[in-house]
Structure 1
């Protein structure tokens, strides 16, 4: 009965009076009225508490943490047992793709891996494994839940700040603990509790591997630690120029629910771009978004090969990120797309590429740069593509395997 009363109260707060509901319907339509209802329900029912990606019991504290290490190193005559604590990946997730490349490299080196899924919301492990098998078929690792324990491993790697907390709390057997850091994750939040909890993970004493100079120098400056550093890669076997494709469009990777991806600014910039270039095709992939003030072709989630096909129809692309540089930036470049990115010293740290147009992060600044990129003379596709480092992910993979072996076997 209490649930019914709560829902009734939500309804009263949303509608208020019939007159107000009619005004909302006229001004914002049924979708606007529904959004108002969701907002009120979110506040009234305390849904904000679900935004914390950890249970209280899984929060570690660097000031009291004392984690045991093995008494000796493992003999090199047997393969390592390596655990990887990850959140369940969504199809095509870029961060998971990068991490799972490291898993594949570790397996190719002859070691055994286990993916330990941390799901704050208790999803079905069978369905989560099915996503991994379908989207990352090269991964052979066993998949199990962290609820079954973090045991039987020589080393375990945390893949995000919440996974680092889980490893610190649940991985209490003697083992080597590492942390593969793809971004400075406190920046994902306003200054507050989540910021502090994310930042504290860098003080847990795990061996930290920073992906790129932006992460490394931020860890040095903000936390005072010296991580191992490896470099970004790009799968140039997938992202490449396909001959004979007319380029008539621009493209955006849209993640509206992820603030660091700058979707609001990108949408406003594309609206201005469309007014100046009404004949240009606008392509959006990643998430399907509603209420666009301009015509666009929406592709939703795409496989890498599908994405490369799309890139090869575009002259220019928007690659937005307000923390570490987005992987899509080099993927677009490798396919011959002139990239417009929001300018920031952190982004430039890992992408010193002359074919990127660094734009002021404003609607007008981005729109102007996109217009220049779109109208630039054609014919430099090959030069753009050849500017991308051709080593792929081999250095990062080799670095991760080497560091794991150093930890487990000793130098």
Structure 2
């Protein structure tokens, strides 16, 4: 927000910034009707890429070596704490360790002048990966990945590759109401890319609804970071609840969680909420809480080992955060939906609550009041999550890529 304000002041001046800020505040307070605005310019690239004709098959100069593939990733711009980017980089890092060459390109503007330094510092350290802040000169590759609906449009017309894949981590049309953006995102599933999805539910959607070739990998966790440390468990009388709070991300159901905590507090149950994932100060909420902001992975593991319950909502595809909590033997409450049902087993390794405040409060109260049930869910979750690792998931992605390349020889 601050960076955006500085850019506006530099470009248009202080008076323009103040004028637009007042308009924005009045609109938010419903004291002024929002102006109709033409925002099409931010989507000009869609029409531009769709109008481009795809030429015939591009003949790559280098011979195919399945053990030393060149993999280009087109990603959207990124910020610290971006979970989707972290998953991309985890898979790419293992592919690098398997002997493959990665190139990472940022599409549609990059806020980081030294992209490699930013990624190595805030995500994962690469050894033999190239980084580019634009897609002006995408080099030849064996594999080309789109990683979001926005990046699928340039990937559609980039032709100097053997095979195009779509790294699908969520059903992105659901990020929007029924709108142009919804359709822009949905249309990309019809581009003919081979989809590699996070979890089986997404793969099924790609196949059944969009007739897209699709395979999946499992979300996982870092075993070196997330594991039980019983000596750090909360010994205080007031139970602690870790909640992944992302008010700016509607699919995280922030208001549902707030109403659920309000209901739990109304029942006279003692608890304190530890919010994380949101880089803001403590919100004024009518129950005991503390905001930790955006935490590093080691800090998250420490938190999960100190609290009594984890609450995570993902109203679209399932999240990897519950697995990281489970790895620390923390019992988890999530939303009961077709996406979570496809992954977890309700009342065995997790508690899935219907998406209303009463049901969520009931689930939290049940776990807070019944120690045996809480211990059972925690133990079962820990045992279940042990089957996953990022190395296994990356190996599965590698196998999918190799099988597809062999099939088109």
The TM-score bracket by the shorter chain reads 0.7 to 0.9
Which residue of 159, 175, 179 maps to 1:188?
175
Root-mean-square deviation (CA, aligned residues, Å) is 3.2
Partners of 1:201 and 1:38 in 2: CA distance:
36
Partners of 1:336 and 1:397 in 2: CA distance:
25
Tell me by how many angstroms 1:89 deviates: 2.4
State TM-score, norm by structure 2.
0.83
The residue number in structure 2 matching 1:110 is 99
Q: Deviations over 1:252-277 (max 9, x none)?
A: 10111111111110111112223335
The residue number in structure 1 matching 2:4 is none
The residue number in structure 1 matching 2:313 is 320
Q: Deviations over 1:200-229 (max 9, x none)?
A: 111212221122111011112321223122
Q: Check the 8 A contact 1:234/1:390 in 2, yes or no.
A: no
Distance 1:115 1:40, change over 3 A: farther
The residue number in structure 2 matching 1:350 is 343
Asked if 1:399 corresponds to 2:393, the answer is no
**Which stretch of structure 1 is more off in the superposition, 298-307 or 283-292?**
283-292
The residue number in structure 2 matching 1:172 is 159
Which residue of 247, 263, 283 maps to 1:256?
247
Tell me by how many angstroms 1:199 deviates: 1.3
Tell me by how many angstroms 1:162 deviates: 0.6
Matches within 5 A, 1:327-342: 327-342=320-335
Q: Check the 8 A contact 1:312/1:335 in 2, yes or no.
A: yes
Which blocks of at least 5 consecutive residues in structure 2 are unaligned?
Answer: 1-11
The residue number in structure 1 matching 2:6 is none
Q: Deviations over 1:286-338 (max 9, x none)?
A: 00363323221111111111101101122212110111111111111121121
Distance 1:152 1:66, change over 3 A: closer
Asked if 1:364 corresponds to 2:361, the answer is no
SS at match of 1:178: strand
Which residue of 204, 207, 211 maps to 1:224?
211
Which blocks of at least 5 consecutive residues in structure 1 are unaligned?
Answer: 15-33
**Which stretch of structure 1 is more off in the superposition, 323-332 or 39-48?**
39-48
The residue number in structure 1 matching 2:82 is 93
Which residue of 232, 254, 271 maps to 2:262?
271
Partners of 2:78 and 2:14 in 1: CA distance:
34
Q: Check the 8 A contact 2:350/2:381 in 1, yes or no.
A: no
Partners of 2:208 and 2:55 in 1: CA distance:
26
